[in-house]
Every structure is written in structure tokens, then in C-alpha cells.
Amino acid sequence: MPISTCDIYQYTIYLQTKTIKTISQASTEHRSNFYTKTLEANHSYKPEPTVYRPSSQPLDATTTYRNGFTYKKDAEIVKPIRQKAELSSTVVLSMQTLCTEAISRDWLTKFAQLNWC
């Protein structure tokens, strides 16, 4: 049995809907994991103990906290995670907008007018 244009069209709509749901779900899980990890990191934060150094030894990026992290490492870890979370939510919103606009446009009626379905 040959595949009709209507079958292809319906399958395309199905794939778009499935993709939106998958992307939204992944983004939601990513955001909840990000916030959970951020809260855990904030509660486990321990400030650096006061250490007196002579002026010839300035505080550098390798000065560690009690938990082993450095100032520089903390900044490098937190910033990319935050940027990634913001980027993924932006991508999801733009994908949803594109798919919604594409589905709701006139081309649905054009298919019906051509009697392909």
C-alpha cells in the first residue's frame, strides 16, 4: 500500500509534538537538577579561614577553601552551569514557538484545500 501525502503530514505533526514534549521534559529535569545542586552547594559553603600572609605573598587563585575548592575553580564551575541552564530554556521556548506557529499557520488549511488528506 503506497504512503499518501496525508500519512506523511500526520506523521510529521506527530514527530513535532513528540519532540516538543521530549525537549520540554529534558529542560524541566535539567532546571530542577540545577537548582537542587545550587541549593546543596550553598548550604555546604564554608568560608576560607583567616590566614595572615606577608605582603610579598598575595592571595592568588590557588588559595583553597577547607573543602578543597579554589576561588577560581568555583567561578569556573558555577558560571558555565548557569549559562547552560539559561541556554537550554531559551532553546526550548524558541522550539515550542516555532512548532506552534508552524502548526497553526495557514498551511494546514492549504493541505485540506488541495484534498491531499
Q: In the chain, what are the domain boundaries?
A: 20-37+70-117
pLDDT tens track for 46-78: 656 655 555 554 555 455 545 555 444 444 445
User: What is d(CA 51, CA 107) in angstroms, rounded to the nearest whole number?
Assistant: 69
Decide: pTM greater than 0.95.
no
Residues in the chain: 117
Q: What is the pLDDT of residue 46?
A: 61
User: What is d(CA 114, CA 112) in angstroms, rounded to the nearest whole number?
Assistant: 5
Q: Select from 76, 112, 89 the least CA-distant residue to 32.
A: 89
User: What is d(CA 55, CA 76) in angstroms, rounded to the nearest whole number?
Assistant: 27
